[in-house]
Every structure is written in C-alpha cells, then in structure tokens.
Amino acid sequence: MNSDKVVVVVGAGPAGLMAAEVISQAGFKVKVFDAKPSAGRKFLLAGVGGMNITHSEPYPQFITRYYEKSQWLSQAISQFTADDIQAWMKSLGIDSFTGSSGRVFPQDMKAAPLLRNWLKNLRDNGVEFYPNHKLIALAPFNLHDQSNGYQLSFINKAEPTEITAQAVVLALGGASWPKLGSDGKWFNLLTDKGVSVHKLQSANCGFYCNWSTYLQNQFAGTQLKNIALHFTAPNGEKMVKKGECIVTKDGFEGSLFYAFSKYLRDAINQTGQANITIDLIPDLSFEQICQKLSNKKPKESFNKYLKRSIALNSLEIALLFEKFDKTQLHNIEYLARAIQQVPVTLTQVKPIEEAISSAGGVCQSSVNHNLMLTALPGIFCAGEMLDWEAPTGGYLLTACFATGRLAATGVCDFLSNNLNKQI
Ligand SMILES: Cc1cc2nc3c(=O)[nH]c(=O)nc-3n(C[C@H](O)[C@H](O)[C@H](O)COP(=O)(O)OP(=O)(O)OC[C@H]3O[C@@H](n4cnc5c(N)ncnc54)[C@H](O)[C@@H]3O)c2cc1C
C-alpha cells in the first residue's frame, strides 16, 4: 500500500465517493471529509422518487445530452458508461432494470441500499470518513513548492481542524438543494486562487410567469398532461417536446420545463424573457380539432362545449380565457389555433435552491485532461461542481460517477509521478 501518501476527498456525494473508491483500490490512504453529518444526502434524495441512475440509449446519442460540453465529458464517460454503471452496481449487490423510456434504475428504485453497500465496501477498503467537516480554506503546504501537498482548513462543530494531503479531490457539488450540503460556497475558495469558475445557475428548474389572480387561486398545483411545448431560441432554433408539467401560483414546474431549461434559461439571460407556446392537444392536427369543434349544440355553455367536443379540462379552458379574446374564441378556426398555440412569457428562472441541478462551475479551461486544476497542481475536481449540465434521465449521476473516476485516475498518476521523481 502507498499508505504514506494521504489523499483527501472533500465531498461525500456520488462523485467524491467514486473518486475515493478508485484511489483506495490503487493502494493510497483516502480520507473523505463532508460538511454534513452523513454521506450522499442528495444521492439519497434522488432515490426518493425512484433513482434514475443512468440511461440505456446508445453512447453516441447519450453523450450529446451534455450539450456543448459533450466532447469534454466524453473523456470521462467513455471510460465509465451506462453498462459499466450497471456492472458496478451489480458488484455491490444491486441489480438494475431498464424502464420503457430507456432510463435505468436500481431494481427497487431506491438509493439507500446501494449507498449502504457502497459505504461498507469503501470502509472495508480502508477509506476513512470525517463527517461534519466543512472545508473553509486551502493553501499549498509550502507556498513555494506545491509538490509538498496542501493544507486544508475545516470547521468541525465550530472547531477549526487542519489536514495536510499530498493530493486532493474536490467534489463539492453545485448549489441546488443547499440544505443537503452542496451550497456552492466553495466558489470563492477557488476563484481567489486564480481558478476560472462560471457562475452557478439553475438547471432542470421551474420558471416564473405572471398568472391572473383567478388562475393562481383556482389552479395552482394543477397538472397539464399530454401537452407540447414549442420554443424558438434567440438564434432561431425551433424546438418542440411533448410531456407534462405543473402550473404553480407563479409559473411552471415539471419534467417538460426541466427538459428545456437550458434553452429557456439562456434565452432569459440573453433577452430578459422566453416566449413559449403550449399546444393543449398535440396529438390532433388543426383540421381534426376544427372538425371536433364543429358540433356545438344549441344552448350548450361554452365550457361544456369545450369539455365535450375536444376534452379540454377546466385549467386548459382557463388558459384559453386568460390568453385570448373571449369573443373571438367563438370562431372555430381562431379557437383551434388558440388551442394549439397558447402563448406564455416566462419572465425568470426559479431559484437555484429549488432546482434539481446546477449549470456553471469550474471551467474546462481551468483543468487538465484528467481534471486537475492547472492553477493548483495536485487538486482535482469532479462531479456537479464542474461546468457542465445535462437534463434529467440519469445523465447527471453518470457524469458525476465518471468524472469522479477520471479525477481519481489523475490523482493516482500524479502521486505515482511524484514518487518516481523522488526515486
Ligand atoms: C430532488 C433531486 C432528484 C434527483 N434525481 C436524480 C436522478 O434520478 N438521476 C440523476 O442522474 N440525478 C439526479 N439528481 C441529481 C444528482 O443527485 C446530483 O447531480 C449529484 O448528487 C451530484 O453529485 P456530486 O457528488 O457532484 O455532488 P453532491 O451530491 O451535491 O455532493 C457534494 C457533497 O459535498 C459536500 N460539500 C459541499 N461543500 C462542502 C464543503 N465546503 N466542505 C465539505 N463538504 C462540502 C456536501 O455536503 C455534499 O455531501 C437529483 C437531484 C435532486 C436535487
């Protein structure tokens, strides 16, 4: 064992734990520190609604889910793919299954059994855990020679603690759901040392818009099912996606909006708003809708007519009344067009604290090919704190695992090279 070399991993989420696994298997002594009293709190939360750990689609399609960072992340993900994740789970005694959407889950959909087995395995392999340790500072042990390692300062229940390490993996997460530990406060720790970090922003998040008081009072919390969202980005790119969402008192939440969140957020950043249209009946053509609307019964109320002829629900009818001139809606063609194109202006992105994940983080230009900070040789970064984003679908955890492994490989190479130099 290379036990004289201490590697500190800060952050006991999926990225940090994966780094600890690989480094400890290579024979180095690993100490994992985390600000929270226990490991993997966000990982456990991801398991509450059914943990989607990866996706089974073919790799060439899979890797495009990381948008413009696909090529960068392929360095990590091509070495730890969806198949590798399933094999790794199996090695920890957890079978997986693939849902009809191609999403991959642990057999019982939960994160807790996997995390439990994983932590046991790490402890059996000599990894030591230091909960309740919040990293507040880091500096080279010897200001003039970073090859001597780093001094890390933690706060442990109000008591300061100092640790030295020959190499460090930072896996501190993004800034969503900060009560689970990843609060993004590491930002200044790194920018102060000359590391470029892009601002952390909401990803897979809800959006604000202005509803009337009536709509807020009557329909906040109501689901819109089987609709399609149409959006034209500021660069002219047109996009459309079917799905479902929830109307909240101040906007929208839900998978349909999460899927478009990168584009909607970028448009709001660029132009101050994002204009979308919603097709309330995307499975029917304009002509089919007109046909169905053409049988209004005499004396039938307008609401009843819309419910009977075209199966609109009360929220969908309220949206039509909110967004269109009521008198014109009596014209069948106008009404059919309105049903297909309810316009909504999204005014703001919902706060990062409420988002599923973060965009932004440590820039690609600040790290080398195996995720070592070029400004701080010997310090590596992994997981959501790196500057990438992806939609939900298992892509987030996959990239966290894979970057954890790549950073770990970098640590092993770095320490072995240092050792060789000393010999
Ligand atoms: C509700 C919800 C559901 C999700 N569902 C899924 C899903 O089904 N599939 C999927 O792929 N992804 C899902 N995700 C996203 C996924 O959980 C995250 O992308 C992933 O946990 C990020 O891993 P990480 O290791 O980079 O960071 P984290 O899991 O955030 O871990 C970072 C760790 O660092 C610690 N830390 C932070 N700062 C410090 C500090 N200064 N000192 C010491 N420790 C510190 C934190 O306490 C934390 O334990 C979900 C997220 C949420 C919020």
Q: Are 217 and 282 in a shared domain? A: yes
What is residue 146's predicted lDDT score, i.e. its pLDDT? 61
Does residue 396's CB lie within 6 angstroms of at least one atom of ligand 1?
yes
Question: Considering 305, 333, 349, which residue would you say is the last residue of a domain?
Answer: 349
Q: Are 328 and 383 in a shared domain? A: no
Q: Are 77 and 136 in a shared domain? A: yes
Q: Return the amino acid letter for 303.
A: N
Q: Are 180 and 301 in a shared domain? A: no
Q: Report the nearest atom of ligand 1 relative to the CA of 180.
A: 47
- As a three-state string, the secondary structure of 183-216 is CCCCHHHHHCCCCCEEEEEEECCCEECCCCHHHH
**Pocket residue to mutate for ligand 1, from 31, 182, 380, most atoms within 8 A of Cβ:** 182
Q: Are 136 and 229 in a shared domain? A: no
> What separation in Å is there between the alpha carbon of 142 and the centre of ligand 1?
32
Whose CA is closest to atom 31 on ligand 1? 13
Whose CA is closest to atom 35 on ligand 1? 11
Q: Are 360 and 331 in a shared domain? A: no
**Pocket residue to mutate for ligand 1, from 132, 157, 172, most atoms within 8 A of Cβ:** 172
Q: Report the DSSP pairing between strands 357-362 and 274-279.
A: unpaired
Cα separation, 290 vs 300, whole angstroms: 18
Q: Are 315 and 371 in a shared domain? A: no
Assigned token pair, 392 = 């939900």
Does residue 36's CB lie within 6 angstroms of at least one atom of ligand 1?
yes
Q: Are 39 and 164 in a shared domain? A: yes
Assigned token pair, 169 = 């993996």
- Residues of the chain with pLDDT below 70 are 1-3, 143-147, 419-423
Does residue 310's CB lie within 6 angstroms of at least one atom of ligand 1?
no
Q: Are 280 and 366 in a shared domain? A: no
Q: Are 342 and 362 in a shared domain? A: no
The CATH number of the domain where 387 resides is what? 3.50.50.60
- Report residue 170 CA to chain centroid gap: 18
Does residue 336's CB lie within 6 angstroms of at least one atom of ligand 1?
no
Q: Are 184 and 314 in a shared domain? A: no
Question: Considering 313, 328, 349, which residue would you say is the last residue of a domain?
Answer: 349
The domain of 159 spans: 2-202+356-422
Does residue 69's CB lie within 6 angstroms of at least one atom of ligand 1?
no
Whose CA is closest to atom 29 on ligand 1? 13
What is residue 305's predicted lDDT score, i.e. its pLDDT? 96
Q: Report the nearest atom of ligand 1 relative to the CA of 11.
A: 34
Does residue 118's CB lie within 6 angstroms of at least one atom of ligand 1?
no
Cα separation, 183 vs 352, whole angstroms: 10
Cα separation, 380 vs 46, whole angstroms: 25
Q: Cβ distance 35 to 158 under 8 Å?
A: no
- The beta-carbon contacts of 58-63 under 8 Å, at least 24 apart in sequence, are 62/395, 62/398
Q: Report the nearest atom of ligand 1 relative to the CA of 14.
A: 25
Cα separation, 155 vs 34, whole angstroms: 10
Cα separation, 288 vs 294, whole angstroms: 10
Q: Are 167 and 250 in a shared domain? A: no
Cα separation, 278 vs 320, whole angstroms: 11
What is residue 157's predicted lDDT score, i.e. its pLDDT? 84
Question: Considering 305, 329, 349, which residue would you say is the last residue of a domain?
Answer: 349
Provide the number of structural domains found in the chain: 2
Whose CA is closest to atom 52 on ligand 1? 356
